[in-house]
Amino acid sequence: MYLNKIKFIEFKLLHAFASKLLLIGVIILNTITLSGCNSARLQSDANQVPQLVQAILSDPKTFNPVISQDATSSSVGGMMFDGLVFQNPITGEPEPALAESWSVSEDKLKVIFTLRKGLKWSDGHPLTADDVVFSYNQLYFNPDVPTSTKDVLRVGQSQELPKVRKLNDLEIEFVLAEPFSPFFSSIGQSILPAHILRKTIENKDKDGNLLFLATWTVDTPPEDFVVNSAYKLKEYVNSQRIIFERNPYYWKKTENGDILPYIEKVVWQIVESQDTFLLQFRSGALDSISVSPEYFSLLKKEEKRGNFTIYNGGAQYGTTFITFNLNQGQRDGKPFVEPIKSQWFNNVKFRQAVAYSIDRQRIINNIYRGLGEPQNSPISIQSPFYDDDLKGYEYNIEKAKQLLREAGFTYNGKGELFDSKGNRVKFALNTNSGNKTREAMGSQIKSDLAKIGIEVDFEPIAFNTLVNKLDSSLDWECILLGFTGGNEPNNGANLWATDGSLHFFNQGAKPGQEPIKGRKIADWEAKIGQLFIDAARELDIEKRKAIYAEVQEIVKENVPFIYLVNPLALGAVRNNIQTIQYSALGGAFWNLEKLKIIE
């Protein structure tokens, strides 16, 4: 799923072009906020060099783009590193980036990329085919490096990774085990400097872990980062800000030979309050925001006075959902989910009942102010693979109660729900704190489920805490969250593959983690994983559509995710930032290097 360059979503699905479309983030409740701290200093700086001031919801967990899993960390990587190709969010087509061209063999099994001449890293060192081969073979394809790239580039039934080799200093050959339809939508990973990082792959720490896994952390001095994209890191202050400055060796120039980017400095303020972010934008301290539904009417009235424009990119890419922890495994003798609750969550009728009990139209009317539609599918509605005939779960309390009774649940005189062993049905629902829209959704879901007798303990928690639960400890019950979206479904393979790095509703152990005992894979779960393999192997687009239609039907029937609302992609940008080409896929800043600030 794709991320754009200014919106921030709180959890990311790694995919092919994430590194470049993400100066931002997005599935769906993209929330950007701005801190008021040090605004006087920032405004003073603005008088010295052209700078763009934006905001993000949380601190990054790492500055290493290969192992990043959260949107903020990946967004930092998107600012500093380019890949071989880039997907244009307006046309949806791959375009040259570090590679100026490529050729494909007649049998579709070999792709040769030709790099641009004269490429350099930010330290002036030449960027060559050695860096590309190193990035793929030693980093992304390294079994000891936890990265989602492996999930989206595995080919065929064997799940073999492409073979990558250097032909000469400018040419790199990728050899595939069999034809792979989503190759060009999956090959946009950041290229990293071999001359800086090779030693971190060749050496380990005292615990036997690659030094690379602890390289380029949030504590790394900014001057130690060697990059190839438009910006390099200038400053990071925890819980305050991230500042980027122009990379003097950036490869891209205008047709007239002008040096890019035009905007010399980009500032991301770090806060945790949407209200503060709105106040700062209205006061002029912030150059852009993602427009949440509750602020749309107010901001629309202020467009002229505030000298900004609200752009509407149509339906957002991505999904919002709640999901239950279906993992029946354990570590060190401790189950991830209490066995009683695990039985509920793994009962498909229980999940279907919950899906029927959520009033999506009330969410749209009250929380999204009518700016959205019910969401039914894991595939973005704009994607050519979206199934228009797919039916979702309409609000139906009686149907929900009927399913629960069929599953052996009963009600007492107060309308409270109990399982067949007399246990009161209740569970914890978490989302990321600071996202007012998502917090409002959680409150309504709690209210909706009370109508079918379920008690929900709804608690928003810090985003990094939430990510740790999903990625490491696996000790959670129900989560309200969002994923990015895009045109190519295979970029979500790391979610649907049973051993995928983001298969978090039934997550397996990742490299370096303690093994999981007792984890079970459902037949439908394995079937979806197989269909993703089949679809990636299929070159005929109509046959691919049929496979993904089957995937969507299986997901709908078994509800590993209960999808909620598909809102509009709305963004407000100051009119002195020119020339904006807004899209749902790329947001306002997908071509940041070409934008100018006109005073």
- pLDDT for 118-161, tens place per residue? 999 999 999 999 999 999 999 999 999 988 889 889 998 899 99
**DSSP code of residue 357:** H
**Is the model's pLDDT at 424 over the cut of 50?**
yes
Question: DSSP 3-state assignment of 46?
Answer: helix
The pLDDT of residue 180? 95
Among residues 186, 203, 187, the alpha carbon closest in space to that of 144 is found at 203
More confident residue, 1 or 88: 88
pLDDT on residue 48:
65
Closest CA to 83 of 34, 119, 37: 119
CA distances to 24, 89, 113, 145 from 84, rounded to whole Å, are 20, 16, 8, 21
Chain center to CA of 387:
22
Give the residue from 127, 132, 52 showing the smallest Cα distance to 84.
132
pLDDT of 111: 98
> How is residue 423 written in tokens?
């246990």
Q: What is the DSSP letter of 223?
A: G
Residue 30: the pLDDT is: 34
Q: What is the pLDDT of residues 486-504, one digit of tens each?
A: 899 998 998 999 999 889 9
- Residues with Cβ within 8 Å of residue 304, at least 6 apart in sequence: none
Distances (CA, A) of 55 to 33, 82, 266, 302: 5, 22, 10, 20
Which residue type does 12 have?
K
Lowest-confidence range among 224-238, 295-309, 483-497?
Answer: 483-497
> pLDDT at position 421, please?
96
pLDDT value of residue 292: 86
Q: How far apart are CA 177 and CA 165, in angstroms?
A: 14
Distance CA 117, CA 114 (A): 9
Q: Between 326 and 42, whose confidence is greater?
A: 326
Q: What is the pLDDT of residues 504-532, one digit of tens each?
A: 999 999 877 899 999 999 999 999 999 99
> Among 483, 485, 510, which residue's Cα sits nearest to residue 89?
485
Q: Which residue has the higher pLDDT, 93 or 11?
A: 93
d(CA 207, CA 6): 38
When pLDDT is cut at 50, 70 and 90, the band that residue 324 belongs to is very high
Mean per-residue pLDDT of the chain: 90
Rounded mean pLDDT, 356-376:
95
Long-range contacts of 311-314 (CB under 8 A, 24+ apart): 311/570, 311/571, 311/572, 311/573, 311/580, 311/582, 311/588, 312/568, 312/569, 312/570, 312/582, 313/568, 313/569, 313/570, 313/571, 313/582, 313/583, 313/584, 313/585, 313/587, 314/382, 314/568, 314/569, 314/584
The β-bridge partners of 510 are none
Higher pLDDT pick, 297 / 8: 297
Give the containing element (helix H, strand E) for 33: none
What does the alpha-carbon distance between residue 486 and residue 483 come to, in Å, rounded to a whole number? 10
In this predicted model, what pLDDT tens digit does every residue of 170-216 receive, in sequence order?
999 999 999 999 999 999 999 999 999 999 999 999 989 999 999 99
- Confidence (pLDDT) at 463: 85
Catalogue all structural domains in the chain, each as residue range(s) with its CATH number.
18-81+198-314+568-597 (3.40.190.10)
Tokens (6 digits) for 546: 């049929």
Spatial CB neighbours of 468, under 8 Å, sequence gap ≥ 6: none
User: Could you identify the residue written with the tokens 């492409």?
Assistant: 162
Report the pLDDT value the prediction gives residue 92, as an integer from 0 to 100.
86
Residue 14 — very low, low, confident or very high, per pLDDT cuts 50/70/90?
very low
List of residues 6+ apart from 398 with CB closer than 8 A: none
CB under 8 A, 24+ apart: contacts of 41-50: 42/267, 42/285, 43/285, 45/265, 45/267, 49/264, 49/265, 50/262, 50/263, 50/264, 50/265, 50/596, 50/597
Q: Closest by alpha carbon to 54, among 268, 243, 326?
A: 268
Q: What is the per-residue pLDDT for 257? A: 85
Instruction: Give the predicted TM-score (pTM) of the model.
Output: 0.82
In this prediction, residue 385 has a pLDDT band, given cuts at 50, 70 and 90, of: very high
Q: How far is the C-alpha of 233 from the C-alpha of 493, rounded, in Å?
A: 31
C-alpha span between 503 and 497 (Å, rounded):
7
| Amino acid symbol at 402 | Q
Mean pLDDT of 300-322: 95
